[in-house]
Structure 1
Amino acid sequence: MEPIFALDIGTRMVMGLVMTKNEEQGYEILASAQTEHRQRAMYDGQVHDVDEVARAVAKVKALLEQKLDFPLKQVAVAAAGRALKTEVAVAEHKGLLPVRWERENVLALEIEAVHQALRQLQSSTGDDLQSYHCVGYNPIARWNEGEEIANLIGQRGRVAKVSVIATFLPRTVVDGLVAVLGRVDLEMTSLTLEPIAAGQAAIPPNMRRHNLALVDVGAGTADIALTRSGSFFAYGMVPMAGDEVTEEICKHFLLDFKVGEKVKREILKKKQLSFTDFLGAKVVVDQSEVLELIQSVVGKLAENISKEIIKLNDGVPHAIILIGGGSLTPLLCELLAETLGIPQNRVGIQVRDRLGGIHGEKSLKGPETITPIGIGIAALEGNGLQYYTVSVNGTPVPIFALQLTTVAEALLAAGIQPRSFFGKPGSALTFEWNGEMQVIKGTLGSSAELLVNGKPGKLDQSLTAGDEIIFIPGEQGKDAQISVKDILPVQNPKWIFWNGEQERYTPQVFVNNKLVLETDHILDGNKISYVANDDLSNLLKQKGYNHQENEEVEISINGETRMFHLHHEVLVNGNTAEGNIIIKDGDYIEVRKVQLTIGDLKLKPNPITFYINGKEMEYPTQETIITSQGRPVQEDELLIDGMDLRVVGYKQMPIFSDLLPYVKFSDEVPPGSTLTLIVNGQPAEFTTVLRPGDRLTATWN
């Protein structure tokens, strides 16, 4: 098996190993090298100064190449375990009509669910969608038409849904590592997570049945991994570690960080410690004084680690295994045992010497060697995330594969939206046609065009390093678009004669009660009414007549409003049309309005009523006189809407003497009597002009 270059880029130190696997003897370390960062270039496992970290990596690489006498081009590395994010998400597709779900459709739906998981992650973290690498996903459930089903491929339905669990790593973590490696001409081929790598080396598989806590105490963080029932089941992190202790020493004695780090490492080696502070003064202190100084900080670190372990484990584990350079921090083992309430012999530091099956480089002995050894084991066993680069539309895209990577996953990693894999159908057009709802469908969208290395590809096609993908998004279907002529029934135009004029008789279309042309487009929601060119009723409707209804005129007669109906007489080819008839090419149609005259009303005046000597009498009319607004009208005049007519039976009002013949006196008139005339209680003469309703009195006195 080819040797593996395993590189552990820590907050304080960079360590590299070149390992190989021997089926009989286990793993062999061919060479090792390590160096410290000249200055603080890493914080909490995150690259902050690319050039400074690259300098340290270059030094380690050069030392290894010198020992091995062959160049190193590829490398396996680890990312901080706390960076791993997992989300469960669902995606659903609804169509207007049932379709058969093929593999490409199902894969596109799964990728949409992964994208939804990415959006959920963005919502919970506040990062943008491009802040994470998807390092793998697995479908966990599928539904067709609401029913859970084992496999969607080949099924037919209108609604499909999938649920996936997706795993992500922050791009800042990965891109920082890639940037550092690129500076020194190294290609990352495998990426594992630090707690997973450390666990593979520190805890053998047969010990993972026990409930153990592995704590990788570094400079900036303490990563935690828990085992139970044969596997690691939980990971966590405490954002403090060995640097906290160093900083406490530096603050108390006013030391440079490097000097403080040296003092911390010598605490348990010497009874008296001597060093020079930042101002140049020589300082000599007892070991006990420094231990007392750092006890509170180490106690806080132990307390935070214990709380995180109990939270993740839901209780105290059987034992605690410490690795990493920070595990050598004085008092840490004792204070952890005390805080967790377990025997002190249940908290220990794992070292290289106790690892079985690891050979070579006997000088590597400390707990800081565990993680780089684990990185090498993960790469040799193929347990790391396989990493390589492909090209999408000319842009390099890093790919991590927990499983065989497909074109669809590469497009997702390139930030291409899953919705562009397949063009959406165009919008439908809905309108009302003579009171009935009609729907015109848009065209179907086209699938995206895919080329892999210049040849047609598929979304589920597997990729290898260096593959070149050209992606042309699927085009959306065209929205439904029709004009009036597209929906008109087939009816030939006719030539007719209308009231003596020849004209073309064609159908008419009204949109929202407005006449439109055949070339006009129909819009969504239009209400369309269609008037055909077939019969007399539709012809009259087009001309603004209603064959079945009469026109009304309103006339006032002596102050009383009355309605009169006018009708039209329709002649077809000279004959009066009875009811609705079919109109044929060449027909002559004439419409005559049959109107009423004054004489048609047969108006008669009403008699005038008077009261004579207490009795009602009607004065007979002499003739019929009709006027309109003071103008005499003749019986042959036509009625006009709004006409105000006055009808009377006399030319002038009668006088008192005209009514005397209608007065009944007693038979005998006393001699010498005189006739007394009274109108409405007032004395009157024979010539007094009367008004309708007057009360008259005529007596002999």
Structure 2
Amino acid sequence: MEPIFALDIGTRMVMGLVMTKNEDQGYEILASAQTEHRQRAMYDGQVHDVDEVARVVAKIKAQLEKKLDTPLKQVAVAAAGRALRTEVAVAEHKELLPVRWERENVLALEIEAVHQALRQLQASADDHLQSYHCVGYNTISSWNEGEEIANLIGQRGRVAKVSVIATFLPRTVVDGLVAVLGRVGLEMTSLTLEPIAAGQAAIPPNMRRLNLALVDIGAGTADIALTRSGSFFAYGMVPMAGDEVTEEICTHYLLDFKVGEKVKRELSKKQTISFTDFLGAKVAVDRLEVLEIIRPVVGKLAENISGEILRLNNGAPHAIILIGGGSLTPLLCELLAETMGIPRNRVGIQIRDRIGEIKGEKSLKGPETITPIGIGIAALQENGLQYYTVLVNGSPVSIFALQLATVAEALLAAGIQPRSFLGKPGAALTFEINNEMRVIKGTMGSPAQLLVNGKPSKLDQSLKAGDEISFIPGEAGQDAKACIKDVLSLPKSKWISWNGQRERFAPQVFMDNQSVTETDQILDGCKLAYLPNDNLENLLKQKKYDLTQKENVEIRVNGEFQTLKLDREVLVNGSRAEGDRILQDGDSLETRIIQLTIGDLQLKPEPMIFYVNGAEVDYPIQEILITSQGRSVSETEPLRDGMDLRVNGYRQMPILSDLLPYAKFPDEVRPGSSLTLKVNGQPAEFTTVLHPGDRLTANWN
């Protein structure tokens, strides 16, 4: 197996190793080099000064090339573990009508879900301006028409949906590393995460069954990884490490940072420590004095680490393993055990001698060597993220492949929007004709044109390093358009006669209640009303003439008003017609009211009532007499609006002798008796004219 150049770019120290894997499954360090940054160019594991970090990396590279007498072109590195982010997201695509989901459609939908995951991540991030690099994704679930399905490809439906889990690293972290390596002529071939790399070297697989906490303490941060049941299950970070201890020494004794770092390192070697402060004074202090000065800040570091472990682990682990240069900080192991509440012998510093078969470079023994060795092991075991470069429309794009990368992933990494992979169909035109829904489809979009190394390709084609992709976005389809004559076949006009007037009977079309012509464009979502010129019913609709509407006629009968409702009718060519009557060119139509006659009223006069000797008498009606404005009318005469009718049953008023037959007299009348007649108590004669209601008395005296 080819040797691996493993590079650990820390906040304070940069270490490089060239490693290989032996046939006995052990590892050998062929060469190593390490140096410190001249100034603070790294903060919390992220590159802040590219040129300064590149200078240190170039120095490491040159030393290793000199030792090995061979050029180094490729390198494996690690990113800060706290930077890794994952998101689960869903994307959905809808069509107006059912379509068959092809592989290109499904892949574009998956990439859209990755974009949604990226949007979710950016929305939830503390820094909303932070940009992230997708390093891989997997599809969790797929749905067709709301039903979960194993594979969408080949299915038919209107609504497709996928759920993916996507993994991201901040672009600033990745781009910073790539920029540094590019300055010194190195190509990144593998990227792992610092806590994963450190865990692979520091904790053997058979020990990961235990609940252990691995703490990689550097200069700026303390990265935490937890094991249980055979694997790492949680990662965390404390933004505090060895630099805080150094700064406490510098503040107390007024020292330059480098001098303070030297004092901190000598605490474990000398009883009396000598140094020169920033003002030039020479100082010698006892080791115990310095320990008391740093005890509060070391205690705070121990509290922060313990708190993060307890949060992630929901309790104290079986043991805590420290690695990294900051793990050598005096008092840290004691205070960490005390804060965590576990025995002192359960907190220890891991060194190279206890991590398995690692041969070569015996001088590398300290805990700061664990992470670079882990980076080398991860690369040799191909556990890191494979990294290579392709060209998209002439621009280099960095690709991480958690799985074999495809053209679609390269386009995504290049910032090309998924919606341009496949030209979307043109919008459909939807409208109603007489309450019936109609749909006219837009044209289908054209797919993107893809070439890989000059040959036609597809979105799911796998890539290899150096491939050149030419991408021309797909074009959207044309939106559906139509005018009235495209959806309606309008007949010719007819000429008719309407109540004596010659008129043109033409078909009518209304769009949202506005009259339109056959050349007008149909608007999306509109409602069309079409009235053809075929039958009587549609003619009456055009003229808004309602046969069910009644005509009111008002008359008076004996002084009382009455309102009559008269029906309408239409005559076609002189004959009464119904609504379904087909009209022909030249037809004559006449509207009229169906008339009533006086006889239809069935008028009857009221009888006259008289009182004869106290008994009520209904004087019989002689005949029915009807007059209007003093004119006698017959029952066959039509009724007209405003008629004033009088109904009478008598041609003349009766006289007293006409009522005598209704009077009751004694059976026998004495001779010499005389008949006395009165009307309303007044003497009357046989010829006295009577009026309704009169009271008549007739007695023999």
Q: Same fold (TM over 0.5)?
A: yes
- 1:267 partner letter: L
The alignment status of 1:204 with 2:204, answered yes or no, reads yes
Q: Which residue of structure 1 aligns with residue 437 of structure 2?
A: 438
Pick closer, same or farther for the CA change 1:512–1:88 going to 2, 3 Å. Answer: closer
Alignment of structure 1 residues 337-416 onto 2, 5 Å? 337-416=337-416
Please tell me whether the aligned partners of residues 420 and 448 of structure 2 are also in contact (alpha carbons under 8 angstroms).
Answer: no
CA distance in 2, matches of 1:152, 1:297: 57
| Secondary structure of residue in 2 paired with 1:162 | strand
Conserved 8 A contact 2:3-2:19? yes
1:292 aligned onto 2:317: no
- Return the offset for 1:247: 1.1
Secondary structure of 2:307's match? helix
Q: Is the counterpart of residue 452 in structure 1 residue 451 in structure 2?
A: yes
Deviation at 1:243, TM superposition (A): 0.8
User: Which residue is equivalent to 2:590?
Assistant: 591
**For the Cα contact (< 8 Å) 2:511–2:529, is it kept in 1?**
yes
Task: Find the residue that maps to 2:410 and give its secondary structure.
Answer: helix
String of CA shifts for 1:110-139, please: whole Å, max 9, x gaps. 323333332332333245597211111222
Letter in 2 for 1:373: I
When residues 325 and 478 of structure 1 are mapped into structure 2, their CA distance, relative to the original with a 3 A threshold, is: same
Bigger drift between 126-135 and 250-259 goes to: 126-135
**Alignment match, 2:688:** none
- Report if the CA contact (8 A) 1:94-1:158 is conserved: yes
The equivalent of 2:677 in structure 1 is none
Equivalent runs, 1:584-663 vs 2, <5 Å: 586-591=585-590, 593=592
User: How far is the alpha carbon of 1:246 from its aligned partner?
Assistant: 0.6
**What is the match of residue 570 of structure 1?**
571
- Aligned counterparts of 1:442 and 1:581: Cα–Cα separation in 2: 35
Change (3 A) 1:107 1:224: same
Q: Which runs of 5+ in 2 are unaligned?
A: 611-615, 620-624, 630-637, 648-654, 659-692, 695-701
Mapping for residues 235-634 of structure 1, pairs under 5 Å: 235-435=235-435, 437-443=436-442, 445-446=444-445, 448-453=447-452, 454-463=454-463, 464-473=465-474, 475=476, 478-479=479-480, 481-488=481-488, 490=489, 492-493=491-492, 495-498=494-497, 505-546=505-546, 549=548, 552-555=551-554, 560=561, 562-563=563-564, 565=566, 567=568, 570-572=571-573, 576-580=575-579, 582-583=581-582, 586-591=585-590, 593=592
User: 2: CA distance between counterparts of 1:133 and 1:586?
Assistant: 76
Q: Percent identity?
A: 66
* Residue aligned with 1:386, SS: strand
Measured against aligned partners, the alpha-carbon deviations of 1:243-264 in whole angstroms (never above 9, x if no partner) come to 1111111111121211111110
Tell me the residue number matched to 2:233. 233
Q: Distance in 2 between matches of 1:592 and 1:140?
A: 73
Classify 1:580/1:299 alpha carbon distance in 2 versus 1 (closer, same or farther; 3 Å). Answer: closer
Q: Is the 8 Å Cα contact of residues 337 and 344 (structure 1) preserved in structure 2?
A: yes
8 A contact 2:426–2:445 mirrored in 1: no
Given that 1:80 and 1:194 are in contact with CA atoms closer than 8 Å, whether structure 2 keeps it comes out as: yes
Q: CA deviation at 1:217?
A: 0.7
Q: What one-letter code is carried by the residue in structure 2 that aligns with 1:55?
A: R
CA contact (8 A) 1:494 1:504 kept: yes
Number of residue equivalences: 678
Q: Decide which moves more: 7-16 or 104-113.
A: 104-113
Q: Partner letter of residue 412 of structure 1?
A: L
SS of equivalent residue, structure 2 residue 403: coil
**Where does residue 188 of structure 1 map in the other structure?**
188
Secondary structure in structure 1 of the residue aligned to 2:220: coil
Work out the CA distance in 2 between the residues paired with 1:419 and 1:239.
40
Cα distance between partner residues in 2 of 1:626 and 1:302:
120
Q: Deviations over 1:264-299 (max 9, x none)?
A: 011111111111222222221101100111122212
Per the alignment, residue 178 of structure 1 pairs with: 178
TM-score for the superposition, normalised by structure 2? 0.80
CA distance change for structure 1 residues 333 and 565 in 2, over 3 Å: closer, same or farther?
same
2:278 match: secondary structure: coil
Give, in angstroms, the shift of residue 81 of structure 1: 0.6
| Pairwise CA distance, 1:142 | 3.5
Query: How far off is 1:95 after superposition?
Result: 4.3
Letter in 1 for 2:468: D
Superposed CA deviations along residues 71-118 of structure 1, whole A, max 9, x for unmatched, are: 433322110011111223333445454444433333233323333332
What secondary structure sits across from 1:246 in the alignment? helix
Q: C-alpha separation between the residues in 2 aligned to 1:403 and 1:141?
A: 18
User: In the superposition, relative to structure 1, how do residues 47 and 569 fare at CA in structure 2: closer, same or farther (>3 Å)?
Assistant: closer
| CA deviation after TM superposition for structure 1 residue 351, in Å | 2.6
Distance 2:42 2:347 in 1: 28
426 and 132 in structure 1: CA distance in 2 versus 1, 3 angstrom threshold: same
Do the aligned partners of 1:321 and 1:349 also contact (CA within 8 Å) in 2?
Answer: yes
Amino acid paired to 1:400:
F
Cα offset, 1:371, TM superposition: 1.4
Deviation, 1:405, is 0.8
1:306-346 Cα distance to aligned partner (Å, 9 max, x none): 23223333333333322111111112222223333444343
Q: Distance in 1 between matches of 2:408 and 2:128?
A: 21
Give the AA of the match of 1:443: G
* TM-score, normalised relative to structure 1: 0.80
* 439-448 vs 197-206, greater mean Cα deviation: 439-448
Q: Which residue identity lines up with residue 326 of structure 2 in the other structure? A: G
Query: What is the match of residue 29 of structure 1?
Result: 30
Q: Residues 243 and 523 of structure 1: is their aligned pair in 2 closer, same or farther, counting only changes over 3 Å?
A: same
The whole-number CA distance in structure 2 between the counterparts of 1:569 and 1:291 is 116
> Would the aligned equivalents of 1:509 and 1:530 in 2 still touch at CA under 8 Å?
yes
Cα distance in 1, alignment partners of residues 374 and 591 from structure 2: 106
Displacement of 1:487 after TM fit?
3.2
